[in-house]
Structure 1
Amino acid sequence: MIILCFENKGYFFEISDIAEFVKVERRKQRGSATLNTYDYILINIVKQLCKQQKKLIYLINSKNFKTILSNLIEVDAKISDYLFFLINCRFETDKEVIECVESVEKDALRDYYCGLNFSDNINNYKLIVHTTKY
């Protein structure tokens, strides 16, 4: 696994419309693209995490590199998990949203690294990419 920065690579905070991104990815899976109130609760969490991620990038310097990079990867992992759940699941109750948030808080980093081998569109936006190219 290698940390790379590609000129044409996108990052989560560069997605201009998170809701539209989720709809497009749902359509690709032949699912309903309709978003409900519960989806928008999670989408708003993703938006806040994207703002946090962008802020962390601006704060990074040689003195805080290790700490900020660790925080960036953690935020990236949470965004990735939330988007995965938004694309692949339907939330119909407050309880389901709470369970999703708890799951992301608990398992995001583990899921993040496991998911690097998947070929879904979410991986195109992760800070860390799995590649065989050097």
Structure 2
Amino acid sequence: MAKAYAVMLGILIGSHALIGWFIEGSRMLGVLNVDIFNDIVYTLCAVALLIVGSTHTPVKVVQAVLVVVGLVFVLLGVGSVIDERLGGLLPTGTTILDHLLLFGTGGAALLLGVSPWARKPLTTNGVPLN
């Protein structure tokens, strides 16, 4: 289950980062921050998640990456709530949707990274998918 979530989260934030590289200094869909700092952090996290989620990596390593990515996102969320421009790193400023993205994905990654049931593979009709 952790590997599947790592791939899904990697695709989600990777696509956000990819689009962000092309519309720098603006807001994606008018509501999501796409400043260079976000693009760098999202790209690095997405690459790490996609690598551990799509290769034959032990589940404990996948969970460790999920915990690190979760901490990064939650800390970014806390920092952006305190200062919406994150000390000048995000000149466009964050919105409530940015906070929801950071806390939602970060919190889910943290919970899945520390939960023991995340080691079980996703199954369909009793056949493991990962």
TM-score w.r.t. length of structure 2: 0.43
TM-score w.r.t. length of structure 1: 0.42
Name which structure has the greater RCO, CA cutoff 8 Å, separation 6+: 1
